[in-house]
Amino acid sequence: MKHFVYIIIFLAVISSCKKEPTFAPVPVIAFEKFVAYNADSADCYITFKDGNGQIGNLIGDTTFNLVLEYLHKVNGTFVPYITNIGGQPIQSSVNRFGKPTDTLFYPYQIPNLTPTGQYQAIQGEIKVKLRTAPVFSPTDSVVKFSITLWDRNGNQSNTVTTDEIIVPQ
C-alpha cells in the first residue's frame, strides 16, 4: 500500500507538469475575421504561432513587421491594386516587403511579444485596426486583403487573405 501512494504521488506530479508547446521558428499566421464598422474603419483579426518568440519590435525599432495588401477584383480574380497618378501607373520597384511599390498596402508595427523565461514559443491573436479609409476604386464592390508577418530574425510567415469584403457604395 505504501508503494501505491508513492506511485499515485509520482503520477500526480508527472501529469501536473505542463508540456510547453513547440512550433517552427518561422511564424505561421491564419486569418480569423474581418469586422467592418462603417466605410472608414474595420478590425482584422489573425492568429499566429512562432517557435522562438521573435514577434514584434524591440524598443527603438521602427521596422514594419505586418503588412496588409489591398486586393481588388479584376475579371473575376483578386489582384493587387495598382496606384496611379492621372491614370498613369507610378514607376514600379520592389519594397522591403517584396511588394511592388506601386501597390496599395498598409504597414504596421507589432510591439514586442517575446515572453520572458525559458520557453519562447508563443501563439496568440493580433487585432489590426484599419482606421484610415482605404482608397477604394469607384468600380470596386468586393475586395480582400493579403496579410504577411515578419519576425525580428527576418523570417516571413505564410501569406493569408481575408474573406471577401463588400465595399459600401
144 belongs to a structural domain: yes
User: Residue 134 sits in which domain range?
Assistant: 20-166
68 belongs to a structural domain: yes
CATH code, domain with 127:
2.60.40.10
Q: How many folded domains does the chain comprise? A: 1
Looking at residue 15, its pLDDT comes to 45
5 belongs to a structural domain: no
pLDDT at residue 138 tops 90: no
**Cβ neighbours, 10 Å, residue 38:** 8
130 belongs to a structural domain: yes
Cα gap 54→112, rounded to integer Å: 8
Q: What is the pTM of this model?
A: 0.76
24 belongs to a structural domain: yes
146 belongs to a structural domain: yes
Average pLDDT (102-107) is: 70
pLDDT band (50, 70, 90) for residue 133: low
